[in-house]
Structure 1
Amino acid sequence: MKNIFLLSILIFFSVQCKAQNNIIALTNCNKKYDHSTGDYYLKDTTNEMNKYEGVWKWSSGNREFILTLIKQVKHHYRETGNDNYYEDRLVGYYTYKENGTIIADTSSDTNLSTDYGMKVMFILNCHFQIASIAFNDYKKYKEFEVLLENISPTQIKMNMFEREHVITIRNGIQIPAEMPQGGSTFPMEMILTKQ
């Protein structure tokens, strides 16, 4: 009976020790960690991402862009390869309208907990910038680099930059299926107001 009790205590402490994560600030430019152990948590230690959570709107004349951002705390990356770590991130979706007609809408992307294939995902980089990991203009078959800048508690600036677009052929199928098109569906620089 005494051995069972000691074994139970040993197992309890082993599980507790494994549950501890090495916390690394997302803004630490010198961060080095093993992506595969599940022991590391890249954390928004300054809560900078909190300023960007919510629904943001830009409008000009008959055009309207709405961006919704949600902070995911301690998201567990584990879908591909050796990834097994935790990280804070911003995910979301957008809607773009002209004359009240929806031109682009990613709000049906309901699985915002996936690791890859998302249309809108941001992190806090080591330069204290909210930078996109993914920002997909699916109407133009393009990915953009996007930086968000906090102007005030009620306004953010969104700047988009074109990335180099790579077309791949897998099993005889071109990815993306269509060639990237010129420009963007919506303005590449906007001031958005919190709703």
Structure 2
Amino acid sequence: MKKYIYIIMLISVSCKAQYSLQNHDSAGDLPSGSYCADIFNDFNNYVGTWKAVQGNKELTFVLIKKTYVYYPFKDIYTDFLTGEYIYKEGNQTLIDTTPNFTSTDVRGNNINGNLFIKDNDYFPICDDCFPNERRIHLYFKDPTRTHVHAEIVLRHKVVNGVQLIKATLYETLSITEEGDNLPEHITVPVGEYTLIKQ
């Protein structure tokens, strides 16, 4: 009899510890405690330091992948791509968020997210994407202009053996009141950037 009780207890404990390993593509309504993982390791292509130089403008991203992060809004665990950035014009650094890497909250990083875009007709339209090619959609924050909301879409490519990211940065909302005299845009100019892995 003791043997049967032990087996029943073992089964009930193991059921509570189980989670559902899902890819982000199918991260709809998951049961509490599920793990929505980057099982195809798409985020790995973006990890590292990347730099774009366009005229006198220089934009650097430092991106990392964080795994098994608790997401309280849905009561699940998920993988995130997070990062920080530096933007310079001429020899002047206009913004450097890299000291913020000490943040323990992934949504506290100024680049963060875990969404994939597979539809080539979804903004920004990608005419040369392969069918079902995954691009990464992230939130992009300017800590000096929190009233302006921005997002960025990243596409990883290898051209002549060189790893690069095609990035489209765009603003989605600016919340100001008349007379605030706040800047209308984020510090980094919106547009397309080609960043090369360093």
User: Aligned with 1:51: secondary structure?
Assistant: helix
How many residues are treated as equivalent by the alignment? Answer: 176
Q: Is the 8 A contact 2:117 2:136 kept in 1?
A: no
Classify 1:187/1:22 alpha carbon distance in 2 versus 1 (closer, same or farther; 3 Å).
Answer: same
Residue 194 (structure 1) aligned with residue 194 (structure 2): no
Q: Is the 8 A contact 1:27 1:125 kept in 2?
A: yes
Amino acid at match of 2:141: N
Name which of 124, 132, 136 aligns with 2:141. Answer: 136
Q: Is the 8 A contact 2:71 2:77 kept in 1?
A: yes
Q: Report the structure, 1 or 2, having the larger helix content.
A: 2
Structure 1 distance, partners of 2:102, 2:152, is: 21
User: Aligned with 1:186: secondary structure?
Assistant: coil
Q: How far is the alpha carbon of 1:58 from its aligned partner?
A: 0.9
Name which of 21, 24, 27 aligns with 1:26. Answer: 24
Residue 84 (structure 1) aligned with residue 80 (structure 2): no
Partner of 2:96: 105
Partner of 1:45: 39
Name which of 8, 15, 18 aligns with 1:17. Answer: 15
Structure 1 distance, partners of 2:22, 2:182, is: 37
Q: How far is the alpha carbon of 1:20 from its aligned partner?
A: 1.6
Stretches of structure 1 lacking an aligned partner (at least 5 in a row): 169-177
Q: How far is the alpha carbon of 1:117 from its aligned partner?
A: 3.9
Classify 1:92/1:112 alpha carbon distance in 2 versus 1 (closer, same or farther; 3 Å).
Answer: farther
Stretches of structure 2 lacking an aligned partner (at least 5 in a row): 119-133
Structure 2 distance, partners of 1:99, 1:125, is: 34
Sequence identity (%): 28
Q: Is the 8 A contact 1:165 1:180 kept in 2?
A: no
Amino acid at match of 1:192: L
User: Aligned with 1:16: secondary structure?
Assistant: helix
- In the superposition, the TM-score normalised over structure 1's length comes to 0.76
Q: Is the 8 A contact 1:49 1:124 kept in 2?
A: no
Partner of 1:150: 156
Q: Is the 8 A contact 2:106 2:112 kept in 1?
A: no
